[in-house]
Amino acid sequence: ETGVTQTPRHLVMGMTNKKSLKCEQHLGHNAMYWYKQSAKKPLELMFVYSLEERVENNSVPSRFSPECPNSSHLFLHLHTLQPEDSALYLCASSPGRPSYNSPLHFGNGTRLTVT
């Protein structure tokens, strides 16, 4: 158990579907992140929330829409995705913004397949 729980673990969706990924952290952290992990590529930072405020948005297409209703929960709403969006989506949290004493704690990810 990592302290960061992601659901669902696997998701298959068509390009016209709307779905949501959920992340919940039980560590009392103030920052939460969405990362995309594609095969043989470095993790790509998508969004950062600090104290429920979005503080970073790395040129992510509008078909990905994050939501952070409180410091323990983070959602990624998906609509009209493309096949190239198929990847492992990782949620992470940290006590504050990343630092020596504030490492990222990752969930086990949602494996998304867009058909």
Partner 1 sequence: KNQVEQSPQSLIILEGKNCTLQCNYTVSPFSNLRWYKQDTGRGPVSLTIMTFSENTKSNGRYTATLDADTKQSSLHITASQLSDSASYICVVSAKTSYDKVIFGPGTSLSVIP
CB-nearer residue toward partner 1: 15 or 55: 55
- Smallest CA-to-CA distance from 21 within 88, 84, 93 is with 88
Nearer to partner 1, 7 or 14 (CB): 7
Shortest distance (Å) from residue 85 CB to partner 1 = 19
Tokens of 11: 């998701």
Calculate the CA 98 to chain-centre distance.
16
Nearer residue to partner 1 within complex by CB, 81 or 91: 91
Catalog residues that contact partner 1 under the rule CB under 8 A.
2, 4, 40-43, 45, 90, 92, 96-100, 102-104, 106-109, 111
CB of 113 to partner 1, least distance (A): 14
Shortest Cβ 114–partner 1 spacing (Å): 19
Q: Strand 110-114 vs strand 10-13: parallel, antiparallel, or unpaired?
A: parallel
Q: Which is nearer to partner 1, 18 or 97 (CB)?
A: 97
- The C-alpha atoms of residue 112 and residue 15 are separated, in whole angstroms, by 12
Task: Give the separation between CA 20 and CA 22, rounded to whole angstroms.
Answer: 6
